[in-house]
Amino acid sequence: MFEGLTVAMVTPFKGGALDLEATARLVEFLIEGGTECIVISGSTGEAATCSVEERRTLWRFVRERVAGRIPLIAGTGTNSTADSIAMTRIAEEIGLDGAMLVTPYYNKPTPKGQVEHFRTVARSTALPLVLYNVPGRTGTNTLPETLEQLQDQPNVVAIKEAAGSLD
């Protein structure tokens, strides 16, 4: 599915707006450097501060620029299940290859809440999903036993683990 070097791309801005010219250069730089998949609008890509329209514009622009050369994953996760579904549907409509869902931030859901959030989003889309555990940003850790409960979701294909613990 998603193999090799995946890079979380920053989102270039200039004068308070998306800088699509710099984005085009960055995309080419990443591909020429051997990147095999790009995550657009993850936490590195300022997703939490981009509007829905900025994300839509960025995703469409990068998809057109990449022109199928490598897979593209959109960071669609938020602290709201409904908003995560809406963002994931936009990514799917634009034709991206997958979506990355962060554990809901600020709300600090219980393990059961995490499972229900991820399961509900997974059932709303055909896109392959990468779940993203980053407790330093979300205030809660998605543990292996929680993730194990999602093994029946065929479109949950990977985990981005950023807990900082090799255990």
Catalytic residue numbers read: 132, 160
Strand intervals (E) in 15-152: 17-18, 37-40, 72-75, 98-102, 129-133
Instruction: Sort residue 67 into left (φ over 0), alpha (ψ -120 to 50) or beta.
Output: left
Question: Is 13 exposed, middle or buried (CB count within 10 Å of its CB: 0-12, 13-18, 19+)?
Answer: middle
End-to-end CA distance of the chain: 26
What stretch of H or E contains 113?
A: helix 111-123
CA distances from 64 to 96, 105, 133, 154 (A): 10, 31, 29, 28
Token pair, residue 42, equals 């993850």
